[in-house]
């Protein structure tokens, strides 16, 4: 039986991918990276974090304290250039924070990483979730972003996470590491920094 077109693209050599028109190359790379990530799992790293807000409330009249249940991260880029066609980074999650990967683990569910802001149109996103192992490592989401029309600076996606009972993370507990940006030809773009805000409630 003939292989599907996605697998045929994934099995191209690096030399074959380079021959693809620049406007389609990042999409091919995204498909290839997704296949490889699903085979190998996520990646761990440590580094800096963005800023955001915290939330939560308490009951009165003898009620119990209710902690936050969700953290919604809004991701963006800043820098001196807007010639970006692809992004690759690790989102590190604090203790007690998870994302859904119920349909095709470790790939994240479709409502976890959502294109948003002025760069939403035409943006393709892929996420691979790696659960924390004990207290020694953090849970991570390896995120790939591509847009054949280019990504301007600013907001590009929203990440929806869940907070387990008994945990009260702050924005400083999240971080983005192993960040890289590429142009239409797949060459590295320097001077681009990631950031995020966190709505925790």
Helices (H) and strands (E) in the chain, counts: 3, 11
- pLDDT classification of 136: cutoffs 50, 70, 90: confident
pLDDT of the residue at 17: 38
| CA 164/CA 162 separation, integer angstroms | 7
Count Cβ neighbours within 10 Å for each residue of 181-199 and write b for 16 or more, e otherwise.
Answer: bbbbebeebeebebbbebb
Q: For residue 86, what are its two tokens? A: 């692809």
What's the pLDDT band for 64 if we cut at 50, 70, 90? low
Q: Which helix (H) or strand (E) holds 65?
A: strand 65-66
Q: What is the pLDDT of residue 80?
A: 87
Q: Is 121 exposed, middle or buried (0-12, 13-18, 19+ CB in 10 A)?
A: exposed
Q: Whole-angstrom distance between the N-terminal and C-terminal Cα of the chain?
A: 50
What per-residue confidence (pLDDT) applies to 13?
36
| C-alpha to C-alpha distance for 107 and 34, rounded to whole angstroms | 9
CA 145, CA 165: separation in Å to the nearest integer?
Answer: 31
* Average pLDDT of span 22-28: 50
pLDDT in tens, 148-171: 999 999 999 999 999 999 999 999
Of the pLDDT bands very low, low, confident and very high (cuts 50, 70, 90), residue 121 is: very high
pLDDT reported for residue 30: 55
Residues 6-17 pLDDT 10s: 333 333 433 343
63: pLDDT strictly greater than 80: no
d(CA 140, CA 101): 12
Alpha helices in the chain (DSSP H): 5-10, 14-19, 22-40
pLDDT, position 46 = 31
pTM: 0.72
pLDDT for position 100: 94
DSSP annotation of 107 reads: B
Residue 65, pLDDT score: 66
Query: What pLDDT is attached to residue 43?
Result: 37
What are 103's two structure tokens? 């349909």
2 pLDDT more than 50: no
Q: Which residue has the higher pLDDT, 16 or 103?
A: 103
- Regarding beta strands 65-66 and 57-58, do their DSSP bridges make them parallel or antiparallel, or are they unpaired? antiparallel
């Amino acid at each position: 039986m003939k292989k599907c077109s996605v697998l045929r693209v994934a099995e191209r050599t690096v030399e074959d991918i380079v021959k693809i028109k620049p406007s389609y190359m990042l999409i091919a790379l995204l498909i290839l990276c997704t296949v490889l990530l699903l085979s190998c799992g996520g990646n761990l790293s440590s580094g800096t974090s963005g800023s955001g807000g915290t939330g939560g409330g308490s009951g009165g009249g003898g009620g119990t304290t209710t902690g936050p249940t969700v953290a919604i991260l809004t991701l963006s880029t800043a820098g001196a250039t807007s010639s970006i066609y692809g992004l690759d980074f690790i989102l590190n999650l604090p203790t007690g924070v998870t994302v859904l990967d119920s349909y095709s683990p470790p790939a994240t569910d479709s409502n976890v990483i959502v294109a948003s802001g002025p760069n939403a149109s035409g943006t393709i996103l892929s996420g691979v979730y790696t659960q924390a192992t004990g207290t020694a490592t953090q849970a991570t989401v390896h995120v790939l972003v591509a847009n054949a029309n280019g990504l301007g600076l600013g907001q590009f996606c929203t990440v929806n996470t869940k907070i387990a009972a008994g945990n009260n993370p702050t924005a400083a507990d999240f971080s983005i590491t192993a960040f890289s940006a590429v142009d239409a030809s797949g060459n590295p773009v320097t001077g681009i920094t990631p950031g995020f805000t966190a709505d925790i409630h």
